[in-house]
Structure 1
Amino acid sequence: MLFVSLSAARADEETLAVPAGKIILTVTGSIAQTNLDGAAAFDETMLGALPATAIDTTTVVTDGVRHFDGFLMRDLLEYVGAEGETVTATALNDYVIEIPMEDFHRFDVLVATHMDGERLLPSDKGPLWIVYPRDDHAELQDIRYDYRWVWQLIELDVK
C-alpha cells in the first residue's frame, strides 16, 4: 500500500516533539514516531500544527448543518507513521470502538477541535471529536458510521 510506505518515510524524516502543555491525545500501537513511553502524545499546540481543514455536515446528535474545524485523521496517522488495519478510539467516558483504517483513506474524516467557531470542551463533546462528512456520502448515513463519531476522544490505538 503506497500510503503506508509514504507514511513510514515521512515519519522517519521528522522528530516528534515532547508536549509542553497538557496532553489531550495519545496515539499508541503500530506507529513509527513516539515521544513518551512508546506512544505519541500531543498537546493542543502540537495538534494545531497539523494541516487545518473544515467540513460542514449534519450530525445525529445536533440540529442542522454544523461547521467543524480541525485536522484530518489520515494526516495525524501519517504524521506518526501509523501502519495497521484498525484504529481503536477511546473517549473520556471509556467509550471504545474499532474503526477500519480504510475509513480514513476513503473519507475526509475530521478530528474536530471546534464546532461553529467555538472550541470543543470536555463538557460538550471535546476536546476532540471524530467527525465524518456524512452529508457528502450517502453510505455514511448508515448507523454503523454513527457509532464511529467518537466525542471526548483521548486515545487512538493502531493495530
Structure 2
Amino acid sequence: MRRLLSILGLTISLFLSPLHAETLPEPSGQAVLTVTGAIDANNRGGAAVFDMEMLSDLPVTEFDTTTLWTEGSKTFTGVALSDLLELLGVSEGTLRASAINDYTVEIPVDSVADGAPIIAYRLDGAEMSRRQKGPLWIVYPYDSDAAFRTEVIYSRSIWQLDRIEVVE
C-alpha cells in the first residue's frame, strides 16, 4: 500500500509541476557565453552554456558599421540577440550582460529588435581576440539609424561579453 501511495504521489506531482525546461545540447568546446536566470532552455544546471560552435550554428546576422572603438567601417558577424532570446524562451525582463572583467550593463528585453543588436563573434571575418574586444561583443548597426548612436546604446555595447543574467 505504501508503494502504491508513493507512485500515486509521484504521478500527481508530475502532473502538477511546471513543464520542464527545454534542454540544449552540451557545448563540446570552451564555454564563451553563459546565460542564467529566467530562461526556458538550458544545458547545465539551469544555465544555457554556449561554445563558439553553438553560437555560430544559430542564425547568422551580419552588417557593416563604424564604431567609436574601431577605425573605418567593419563587418560584424554574430547571432542577433533577439534570436538568442527566442531560443531561450525570453520575452520580457532585463538582461544583465557582464564582461570578463565584471563590467555589467542592463538591456531591457523590450529594447531588443530583430537583427539589432547582435552578439558578434567575428570582426571582418575573423574571430576576435580579447585585445580586439572579443571573443564576444554586443554590437548595434550604428550607421543604420541615429537611434543607435546614443549614449545609452553605446553604453550597452559591451565587449568581452561572457555572461547574461535574465531578470524579471
TM-score (normalised: structure 1): 0.87
Secondary structure at 1:36 match in 2: coil
- Determine the structure 2 residue equivalent to 1:117: 125
Q: Alpha-carbon deviation of 1:123? A: 2.5
List per-residue Cα deviations over 1:61-94 (Å, max 9, x = no partner).
1112111011101101111112432101000111
Secondary structure at 2:106 match in 1: strand
What amino acid maps onto 2:157 in structure 1? W
Q: Which has the higher contact order (CA 8 A, sep 6+)?
A: 1
Equivalent residue in structure 2 for 1:156, among 158, 161, 164: 164
Unaligned runs of 5+ residues in structure 2 are: 1-20
Q: Is the 8 A contact 2:61 2:115 kept in 1?
A: no
Q: What percent identity do the matched residue pairs reach? A: 43
User: CA separation of 1:50/1:107 partners in 2, compared to 1, >3 Å: closer, same or farther?
Assistant: closer
What amino acid maps onto 1:54 in structure 2? E
User: CA separation of 1:156/1:91 partners in 2, compared to 1, >3 Å: closer, same or farther?
Assistant: same
Secondary structure at 2:122 match in 1: strand
Q: Is the 8 A contact 1:30 1:83 kept in 2?
A: no
Unaligned runs of 5+ residues in structure 1 are: 1-11
Q: Alpha-carbon deviation of 1:107? A: 5.7
In our comparison, the structure showing a higher alpha carbon Rg is 2
List per-residue Cα deviations over 1:10-52 (Å, max 9, x = no partner).
xx7x630111111100001110011111100011111111001
- Determine the structure 2 residue equivalent to 1:49: 57
- Determine the structure 2 residue equivalent to 1:100: 108
Q: Are 1:37 and 2:40 matched, yes or no? A: no
- Determine the structure 1 residue equivalent to 2:88: 80
CA distance in 1, matches of 2:68, 2:134: 16
What amino acid maps onto 1:37 in structure 2? G
More deviation in 60-69 or 78-87? 78-87
What amino acid maps onto 2:48 in structure 1? A
Q: Is the 8 A contact 1:27 1:157 kept in 2?
A: yes
Q: Alpha-carbon deviation of 1:106? A: 6.1
CA distance in 1, matches of 2:57, 2:75: 20
TM-score (normalised: structure 2): 0.82
- Determine the structure 2 residue equivalent to 1:9: none
CA distance in 2, matches of 1:111, 1:136: 17
Equivalent residue in structure 2 for 1:90, among 87, 91, 98: 98
Q: Are 1:146 and 2:154 matched, yes or no? A: yes
Alignment RMSD = 1.7
CA distance in 1, matches of 2:35, 2:125: 26
CA distance in 1, matches of 2:63, 2:115: 12
Q: Is the 8 A contact 2:40 2:89 kept in 1?
A: yes
